[in-house]
Amino acid sequence: MRKAIFAVMIGLAGAGLSVPAAADGHAVGFDGVRTWNESAFNAVRALKATDADAARWYAMLNVAMYDAVNGIVGGHGEPAREHALVTKPGPRDGDPFAATVAAAHAVLVVLDPARAATYDAQRNTDLAKLRPGHRRTVGAQWGDEVGRRVVQARADDGSSPVQSQPAGTGPGVFRADWSGAQYHNVRPFAVRDPAVFMPGPPPALDSVEYASAFAEVAVLGDASLPAPDLLATYQFWSLPAGSDQPPGEWLRIALTVGGDRKLSLAQGTRMTALLSMALADTTVTTVRTKYTYRHWRPTTAIREAATDDNPLTQAIPAWTARAGSVGGNPEWVSGHSSYSGAAATVLAGFFCSDNVRFTHTTDTAPGNQARTYPSFSSAAAEAGRSRVFGGLHFAFSDRAAQKIGRGVGEEVLATRLLQADGATLDDCPH
C-alpha cells in the first residue's frame, strides 16, 4: 500500500511541469547533494541546534543519500563500494538521483517535522526534473526505504534524552552545568572506538606549559585590548547556536570544492558521507574528553589564578574574553578544533591533496566577507586559533583537539566506504 501511494505521489510531482529531454540522475546529481544539505543547514539554523546534534543530523542525511545511490550504481559505471548503514542491495533499474532525493527527504521529515511541507515541496520539485516512469518510481521508493532505515538505525544511538553534567567546584574545574553530555557515550557511525582518540588530561595547573598558554590567551583573548584582526578571525569561525555550526561550515566547504571539481553523484555522496561520519564521530571523542576532565575555561582560570598554585600566573579579576562569554561547556578540548582537524583530514584524503585552494564565507563572517585559503589544513589551523583569539580556549586544547580530529578522519578514510573488491586506493576526483 505504501509503495502504491508513493508511486502515485511521484507521478503527480511531475504533472504540468517541464522536464528536460535528457533528464536523468547523472545530469542533475551533485546539485541534489548540495540542495538537500542546504535544507539541513537551514533546519539547524532555525532550530538553534547544538554542534553535536547538527553533526549527527548531517551524518544521517549524507549516509542515507550515499547508501541510496551506492545501492543502485555500484558496479554499473561506478565501483561497487561498501555500504555505510543499509546493507540491503538496491534496485539496479532505479534512478540514483530519485533515490538521493527520497532518502534525504525521509531523513529530514523525521528530524525536522515542523518543516515537512517544505521538504515535500523540494522532493516534488527535484523528482520533476526526471522523466516520469518506472526508473524514477523505483529509485524514489528505494531511497525512501533507505532513509527510513537510517532513521531507525540511529533511533537508539544514545543521543537522547538530553543529559547534563552538574557544575563543579575548585581550581581547574568547569563551574557551570552543561547539557549535551549524553554525547560522551553515543554510538559512532564509522570508527570502532571513539575512546582510542582521547588525549590524557590537560597540562597541570602548576606546570610551565599551562603558564605559557595562560599568558598567551590572557593577551590575545582579552576583550579590553583592541585587535580588530583577531576579533574578525574569531567572529568568522564563531558559529554559535543559530548558525549551521562548525560541522555545517566544513560540509559547505566540501560542497563548494566538490562542485568546482564537478563530482558525480556517486562521488559527491561518498565525499559527504565520509566527511559527515567523521564529524559526528569526532563529537563523541570530544564530548567524552570534556566530560572526563571538566577543565575550566580561560575566563575562570585568569580571574582565579591565585588559586592555581602556579607562581607564573597572575590573577586578573576583571578579565573578560574577547568572545564576550565564558563558554558553555568544559574547555579541554576545543570542539571547533576537533571538527576542523577531522574535516581537513578527510577532505585532503578524498581529494588526494591538502593543497586545494578555496574561498569561503561562514554564517558569522563579519560583513559576510569571504576568505581564501591555500589548503584545508590552513583553514583548520585558523579555525582552531580563532578560539584562542576569542578567549575561549587555551592553545594546548586546540592542538589536542586537532589531533583528535586527524585520528578520527584517518580511521574513517582507511576503513569506510572502500571498494567492495578490497581495493584501498581510489582515483582522485578532479
User: Is residue 430 scored above 60 in pLDDT?
Assistant: no
Residue indicated by cell numbers 581495493: 423
Indicate the helix (H) or strand (E) that contains 371: strand 371-373
Which pLDDT belongs to residue 9? 38
User: Is residue 395 scored above 70 in pLDDT?
Assistant: yes
Distances from the Cα of 225 to the Cαs of 219, 312, 320, 355, in angstroms? 8, 21, 10, 35
Which pLDDT belongs to residue 421? 79
Which pLDDT belongs to residue 429? 72
- What does the pLDDT look like over 88-136, one tens digit per residue? 999 999 999 999 999 999 999 999 999 999 999 999 999 999 999 999 9
User: Is residue 276 scored above 70 in pLDDT?
Assistant: yes
Angle, CA of 7, 8 and 10, to the nearest 5°: 65
pTM: 0.93
What does the mean pLDDT of the chain come to?
92
Q: Which three cell numbers stand for residue 386?
A: 580563532
- What does the pLDDT look like over 347-387, one tens digit per residue? 999 999 999 999 999 999 999 999 999 999 999 999 999 99
Which pLDDT belongs to residue 78? 76
Which pLDDT belongs to residue 172? 98
Which pLDDT belongs to residue 158? 98
- What does the pLDDT look like over 279-318, one tens digit per residue? 999 999 999 999 999 999 999 999 999 999 999 999 999 9
Which pLDDT belongs to residue 27? 44
The CATH code belonging to domain 164-415 is: 1.10.606.20
Distances from the Cα of 394 to the Cαs of 175, 250, 300, 399, 421, in angstroms? 17, 23, 12, 9, 45
- What does the pLDDT look like over 212-226, one tens digit per residue? 999 999 999 999 999
Which pLDDT belongs to residue 22? 34
Mean pLDDT across 79-94: 93
Q: CATH 1.10.606.20 occupies which residues in the chain?
A: 164-415
Mean pLDDT across 409-426: 86
Please tell me the least confidently modeled range out of 41-50, 264-273, 377-386, 414-423.
414-423
pLDDT band at 397 (very low <50, low <70, confident <90, very high): very high
Pairwise CA distance, residues 384 & 387, whole Å = 6
User: Is residue 244 scored above 80 in pLDDT?
Assistant: yes
Mean pLDDT across 43-71: 98
pLDDT band at 422 (very low <50, low <70, confident <90, very high): confident
**Beta carbons of 388 and 221 less than 8 angstroms apart:** yes
Peptide bond into 298 cis (omega under 30): no
User: Is residue 174 scored above 60 in pLDDT?
Assistant: yes
**Beta carbons of 90 and 72 less than 8 angstroms apart:** yes
User: Is residue 193 scored above 70 in pLDDT?
Assistant: yes
Higher pLDDT, 415 or 16: 415
Residue 4, number of CB atoms within 10 A of its CB: 8
Which pLDDT belongs to residue 426? 60
Higher pLDDT, 3 or 260: 260
Mean pLDDT across 206-217: 98
Which pLDDT belongs to residue 80? 83
pLDDT band at 12 (very low <50, low <70, confident <90, very high): very low
- Of all residues in the chain, what percent are helix, strand and coil, respectively (each to 5)? 60, 5, 40
